[in-house]
A and B are shown apart, each in its own frame.
Chain A
Amino acid sequence: MFEQSLEFFTEGLTLAGMVLFRLVLPLAFMFGVGWVLWRFFAPEAVPQVKGARPESFGAFITRVRELPNLRVPVLSSGQVLALFIAIMLWIGATGFLIARFFWGLETASAMSDAMPWGLWIAFKLSFVACAAGGFTFAAIVYVFRLEKYRPIVRTAILTGLIGYTVFIVSLLIDLGRWYNIWHPIVMWNPHSVMFEIAWCVMLYTTVLYAEFSPALFERLGWKRMQKIMHVITVPLVIAGVVLSTLHQSSLGSLYLIQFTKLDPLFWSPLIPVFFFVSAVAAGLALMMVVPCINARAFHCENKQELIATLAKPAAIVLGVYFTLLVGDMLVRGELRTLMAPSAMSALWWVQVLFGIILPMALLFTPQAKSEPRVRYVAAGLVIGGVILERFNVALFGFSEYLGSLNTTYVPSFGEWVITLALIAGAVAVYVAAVKLLPVLPQPRHELAAKPVKSC
């Protein structure tokens, strides 16, 4: 009797969850976005007269095109090429996704029973590492109150928000039984690292959206919501810092239990610490490049002097990372393996020399303060190094183990297309968000003068 009612209850819950997550939320989201766009394009042209005939679609398009605040962009040939590539990727990805969701993962990926985690995991780890700028800069501005960084904090939070959104989307593609993605909410296994990550990512993504929401409220002119957000910002940011610390490191903990398979050069009991420190480095590095790309692409104020002050902290984080890595190698006595020539040790050296030591040296030079170019190179190296680290742990480090099973893993075409399409999507969403919302630094008077953002 009791069990039956319990079953009934859980089934009801499941059904309600499904309706909510697959129907209500997407619809609400769609209408919400539509409404915002509508307001943006033509707040004054929405027909107010009762009983007036709705305008035809063609008339609507013409009217939108002629709106004064909509600038139909003139694309450069480079932009046309980028757009073309992106669209091709999206079409290809759609095809692979249809196959994947109808006929199983094997149609789109090269993953196998021997290698159940593939390129998508390595990509997810890299993306979340680079998204660490969100919590790092939120902490810098709202916890440490270094007000001078305020002009770039929204950009940082936006990169974080997009990184996590892409993470969740790619998780939905990767999970075999993706429709059960909400299960960790009600089915608990607190011993599981994956369970902890599920909760942290879920909560932190919510926190990121909340942290970013003032930009939306500002755009909409919702003063009251802005006030509310103002009050809860600091607690939100602190929650975000805690959640990020936990899951950035836990993503490394995922590999602790795989010590029988992962190469000893990349497996370490300190792997959660490495993941956390390198994520902070990647987040800082990303924020050394993004504002400058913004300045170029969106012609907003270039905050070079501000960015220059990031060089030293980033170098220090790299120093910590390097000390930990090498200290761990010494303690575990793997130095000999490092000296022996092999593909794995080569990967390790490339990561450490070009991803840590070289950029650290560059960032410590006085030129890092005066020469933006030095900073770009250094930041690029750091990001590349962190991505290489994630790929070492998630893919390359398994090659010997796979060899012992007489198989290999090479990501399939479908895996690459879907991955690149997601990256293109992330960039597109970023551009759209920057164009539609007040994200970029901009003098106040301009904002006051022009209701529509056109940085």
Chain B
Amino acid sequence: MNNQTTITRRDFLKLSGASALALTALPAFDGQALAGFLGSEQAANQMGILIDTTKCVGCRQCQAACNLRNNLPPLPEKILPNQTFPAQLSATAFTNVQFFQTGGAEDAPVFTTIKRQCMHCLEPACAAVCPVGAIVKTPLGPVTYDAEKCLGCRYCMAACPFNIPKFEWDSANPRIRKCDMCADRIAAGELPACVQACPTGALEFGPRKELIAQAQARIGKNPDKYVPYIYGLSAVGGTSVMYLAAVPFDQLGLNVNLPDSAVPELTLQVMDKIPAIAITVALLAGGVAWWRGRKTRAGEPESSIEDAEH
């Protein structure tokens, strides 16, 4: 195991064993894993990825490894230097290294590179909105997708604040595609393919709690080098994938205007009222129908309902 990870193999196996148990114990209503998940014992032990953009050199090894692991078309041999390729995430690219000019002169630009992929939100919008629970937040941290259940309604795409899930628009049997934090690999005690491929240690995998402590320590040790925030610590209620950077995050294409509360919150508040609304409306309508119909029952001639037109 890579010595950069902050978790020992024994701990990790113990953890995955426990979560495997928890997985089988989960009842059929997968979506329930969502509400109140934050702050639970499992959330504390969730795994995550810390991406330190100051260590990233833009070599795209992570991209190549990801494409290999996911059977996606390999990267072309030659890619223009200092360019994001592919320009956007898509059904055939779950991750990309994005280049942003953050300094230097016109003729000698300085780029910061940032690897993007699914953030694996602690309370994912995509999982909250999926009508059939095809997307779930697993106890280990990955947000995974099951095509067998999916309807292809694309609500997950519309709801994701990071615009991550992509769709196979050219298929008669289309799937949602996105990074799954290599859920099968980490369940087997391995590192995500991209993390394993990174030659500089810009990507680190481990329990989210420990990654946060480590990130804070790095900022504390090098206050001149880092901006004093961890992106993903609290955005949309926290994400499993987190970023460190030397420049403000909005210069790296990250949305800094996202709220700190979980995105599904408001919807859940509304959904919670539904039973009450249903019962109220039913009682009201029933009451009115009974009140207005009492004359008929008292023996006055009843107009026949089946002859609607009279």
Contact = CB atoms under 8 A, between A and B. Distances in A.
Contacts of B79: none
A151 interface: yes
B90 A113 contact: yes
A144 B284 CA distance: 11
A272 interface: yes
B264 interface: yes
Interface stretch (A256-264, A329-337, A364-372): A256-264
Contacts of B151: 175-178, 180-181, 183-184
A195 B131 contact: yes
Contact of A103 (B35, B172, B285): B172
Given A176-B174, A193-B271, A116 B29 contact: no
B163 interface: yes
Interface stretch (B42-50, B213-221, B273-281): B273-281
Interface stretch (B12-20, B238-246, B299-307): B299-307
Given A104-B169, A114-B163, A176-B154, A191 B289 contact: no
Interface in B244-269: 255, 257-258, 263-264, 266-268
Interface-centre pick from A176, A181, A237 (highest chain B CB count, 10 A): A176
A192 B131 contact: yes
A77 B266 CA distance: 54
B118 interface: no
B285 A241 contact: yes
A184 B131 contact: yes
Contacts of B152: 175-178, 180
A393 B172 CA distance: 29
Contacts of A405: 163
A153 interface: yes
B308 A257 contact: no
Interface residues of B, number: 72
Interface string B23-66: 00000111110110000000000000000000000000000000
Interface string A172-197: 00111110110110011111111111
A302 B258 CA distance: 56
A175 B174 CA distance: 10
Contact of B271 (A111, A114, A191, A233): A191
Nearest to B155: A194
Contact of B305 (A105, A197, A214, A256): A214
Contact of A272 (B31, B133, B270, B293): B270
A253 B308 contact: no
B7 to A, nearest CB: 30
A440 interface: yes
Contacts of A116: 154, 157-158, 167
B198 interface: no
A335 to B, nearest CB: 21
Contacts of A238: 282, 285-286, 289
A102 interface: yes
Interface string B160-178: 0101001111111111000
Given A191-B128, A192-B31, A246-B277, A258 B306 contact: no
Contacts of B255: 260
A133 to B, nearest CB: 15
Nearest to B135: A189
Interface string A212-254: 0011011000000011011001100111011001100010011
B8 interface: no
Contacts of B29: 188-190
B129 interface: yes
B158 A258 contact: yes
B270 to A, nearest CB: 5
Contact of B133 (A187, A193, A444): A187
A273 to B, nearest CB: 10
Contact of A105 (B30, B169, B310): B169
Nearest to B126: A257
B31 A190 contact: yes
A438 interface: yes
A126 B164 CA distance: 28
Interface in A93-145: 101-107, 111-114, 116-117, 139, 142-145
B150 interface: yes
A193 B129 contact: yes
B222 interface: no
A177 B150 contact: yes
A269 B266 contact: yes
A180 B174 CA distance: 12
A436 interface: no
B149 interface: yes
Contacts of B175: 176-177
B197 to A, nearest CB: 25
Contacts of B155: 192, 194, 254
A218 to B, nearest CB: 6
A316 to B, nearest CB: 18
B106 interface: no
Given A145-B292, A238-B282, A112 B169 contact: yes
5 contacts: A116-B154, A184-B131, A197-B131, A246-B277, A405-B163
Given A116-B158, A189-B130, A197-B131, 5 more contacts: A176-B152, A188-B133, A218-B307, A230-B305, A246-B274
List the 3 shortest-distance A-B pairs measured between CB atoms, nearest first: A176-B152, A189-B31, A106-B169
Interface of A: 101-107, 111-114, 116-117, 139, 142-145, 147, 150-151, 153-154, 174-178, 180-181, 183-184, 187-198, 214-215, 217-218, 226-227, 229-230, 233-234, 237-239, 241-242, 245-246, 250, 253-254, 256-261, 269, 272, 405, 438, 440-442, 444, 447
Interface of B: 28-32, 34-35, 88-91, 125, 128-134, 147, 149-155, 157-159, 161, 163, 166-175, 255, 257-258, 263-264, 266-268, 270-271, 274, 277-278, 281-282, 285-286, 288-289, 292-293, 296, 303-310
